[in-house]
Each structure stands twice: as C-alpha cells, then as structure tokens.
Amino acid sequence: MLSFGLTIVRHGETQYNKDKLLQGQGIDVPLSETGLQQAEAAGRYLRDLKFTNVFVSDLQRAQQTADIILRNNLHCAGIKVISDPLLKERSFGTAEGQPVEHLKNMAKAAGLSCPEFTPPAGETPEQVKLRVKAFLEALCQRMAADHPCDGEMALAPGTLGPPAGLADDGIHGVVPHALVVTHGAYMRLAVRYLVEDLNCSVPRGVKVSHIFSACPNTGICRFVVTLRHGDASRLPPIAIHCIFVNRKDHLKSLKEQP
C-alpha cells in the first residue's frame, strides 16, 4: 500500500474576485496586489513542507500562486510542475464577467441554490466532478509510479490525530506529498466528490456545512490518500482521510499589518 499527502490550495485574489465578478475559464487575469501578498503568506506557511509532486491549473491566477508558493519553499527548488487543464475552474458560460449577484439571481429564479445552478453554456456540477475524477485517477497513477518504495503503510502513526493548527498536520511520516493549486468552485465540488462519492472521512467535530463551504483565496485543504497495491488508478482508494479544509491561518499575518 502507498499513502501520500494531498494539499490543495486555492489561488490568490484577483481584481475580479475583489469586485465580486465571475471569472470561470474564459477570463484569465493575474493576481491583484492583495493576491500576491496572500500567495506569499501561503508560501511562508508551507515553506518547510517537502512536496514531491506539484500539479497546477493552466490558468494564470493559479500558476502565479503556485510559482510564489514554490519560490518560498525550502525543499522544492527545480521541482517539475505539471500544468493540468483538468484543474481549471468551473465554466460559468454566459455568466462569466458578470457580478456574482447576477448568478445568484439567475439561480433563485430557477429555484436552485447558486452552486447547483448552471448558467447557459456553463459546466454542470456533474461535469466538473467528471474532471475531478479524471484528475484523481491520473494523480493516483502518477504518485504510485513516482513513489513505488515510499509510504508503504496504510497510514503513518499519528496521521489521524486531531490537527494542531500546524502546517504539517496529518503528514508526519508520510513521504510522498502532492501540492495542487486550483480554483474555488472546483475545490468545493472536489471536496464534495471526495466525501460523498469516495467516502472520505471527515475530522471529528467539524460541521458538514464547513466541509462543503466556499474556500477563501489561498485557503488550504489537506487529505491523506491510501492506495491499493498494484491498482493505483482505480477509484475509490483503500482510504481517504480529510485532515482539514479551508484553512486560512496564514492570512492572519496580512490582517495584522498596519
């Protein structure tokens, strides 16, 4: 068996985020000044972790965030970064470039919640989940191929202990560790897929409403995935454990700045 850490980070803020406008796939803008600061803060928070594999959405805001995180990291100089279109944001079709409030009004008129509503020419939640599934299959296959002799355990000792609020929560003794940098709506659907479709365990005492809530810019989620030997790409794995979701401890330093 192979266990590996999976740390998923949302990109930093863009001007569209600040102005509460939908970006989706068709609008590819860089990080704002605040977004650059958020990415630097995330990089400092994760600087001591050794990522063995890195996967990034092919959109600019995610690429910038990943570059900054890796530049701050003490162990990732020269690491290969895989740009994967399967990680790009959900398409919001004709609603892209429009205020988020406009999407909410469209969803309300259709009698649906905003996450469940699909604008014209947009991706349905199920279509995004298919991309999530395809990415996870490729991820598991890559991790098994790259680390045939690492992490030969069901779970490292202490992996499932309560999070202490530290950057290395949940990954003590787990050598393979994938960093994924992607987008907010994609992450929300990915977490739901992991929990509802792949039976991922959730931390004790954490409300489901928090597990499925929107992730803030540079918010961090972490999982530990255990694969079956010899059939790594088949979902579900032996086990997936959620360590934490939507963590934003690193952003406190920005609020404390004068």
53 is in an annotated binding site: no
Contacting residues for 50 by C-beta, under 8 A, at least 6 apart: 75, 76, 177
The answer, yes or no, to whether residue 229 has pLDDT greater than 80, is no
Say which CATH topology domain 2-91+123-255 has. Rossmann fold (3.40.50)
Q: Are the C-beta atoms of residues 210 and 86 closer than 8 Å to each other?
A: no
Residues catalogued as catalytic: 11, 89
Core vs surface per residue 66-83: b (16+ CB within 10 A) or e = bebbbebbeebeeeebee
- What does the pLDDT average to over 40-66? 98
The answer, yes or no, to whether residue 158 has pLDDT greater than 50, is no
100 HSE (CA, 13 A, CB side): 12
16 is in an annotated binding site: yes
Q: With 0-12 CB in 10 A as exposed, 13-18 as middle and 19+ as buried, what is 230?
A: exposed
Give the pLDDT of residue 159: 45
- Tell me: the pLDDT tens digits for 77-106? 999 999 999 999 999 999 999 999 999 999
15 is in an annotated binding site: yes
pLDDT band, very low/low/confident/very high, at 257 (cuts 50, 70, 90): low
- Tell me: the pLDDT tens digits for 101-147? 999 999 999 999 999 999 999 999 999 999 999 999 999 999 999 99
72 is in an annotated binding site: no
Q: Name the region of 246 (left: φ>0; alpha: ψ -120 to 50; beta: rest).
A: left
The answer, yes or no, to whether residue 72 has pLDDT greater than 70, is yes
- Tell me: the pLDDT tens digits for 159-200? 455 677 899 999 988 999 999 999 999 999 999 999 999 999
Encoding tokens for residue 137? 């299959």
